[in-house]
Amino acid sequence: MACGNNKISRDYLTSQPASTQSQSDRFFAALRAPETVRVGGKDREAYFSRFTSTSNTTEYFLDDKGRKTFDPSRHVHVIHDDGKSEVRMHITDRQDGRTLHTDHVRLPRPSGNAVNAAEARLVSILRSKKQ
């Protein structure tokens, strides 16, 4: 008794498999951030996250759905500062040509749950500002 899809073509079975590298290149091509993004007439560095060794900080942006984004125009900016043992975050809005930083949160020595809760709260505020 056959199981699953038993209508696989002979061409499919005899075709050469794609290399793992070419598969991963295709998959991650959609996830790569452009090198710069134009915001308010200025080119800004685009990144999903970055680590700065001189200040021992890791930064990333979250969109209004809580996903990491490289768009610097409107996001929750999260900064994990290992040097000061704290996490800082705020909402950045550059939609109308000026930069506004609002809803600042500072968490000294936070747990992972505290960081997740603060991120979720700011993402919710960002989403409400979009409407």
Task: For residue range 28-52, list pLDDT tens digits in order.
Answer: 555 555 666 666 667 766 666 778 8
Please give the average per-residue pLDDT across 103-112, as a whole number: 96
Nearest-angstrom CA–CA distance, 118 and 48: 19
Q: Which residues contact 82 (CB under 8 A, 6 or more apart)?
A: 56, 57, 58
Q: Is residue 24 part of a domain?
A: no
What percentage of the chain exceeds 90 in pLDDT? 43
Q: Is residue 54 part of a domain?
A: yes
With residues binned 3-state (H G I as helix, E B as strand, rest as coil), the percentages for the chain, rounded to 5, are: 25, 35, 40
For the cut 90, the answer to whether the pLDDT of residue 125 exceeds it is yes
Q: Is residue 18 part of a domain?
A: no
Please give the average per-residue pLDDT across 57-63, as a whole number: 91
Report the number of distinct structural domains present in the chain.
1
Report the predicted TM-score, pTM, of the whole model to 2 decimal places: 0.67
Q: Is residue 10 part of a domain?
A: no
Residue 63 DSSP symbol: -
Give the structural domain span for 118. Answer: 36-130
Q: Return the top range by mean pLDDT from 6-15, 47-56, 68-77.
A: 68-77
Q: Is residue 29 part of a domain?
A: no
| Mean pLDDT estimate for the chain | 81
Instruction: State residue 32's pLDDT score.
Output: 57
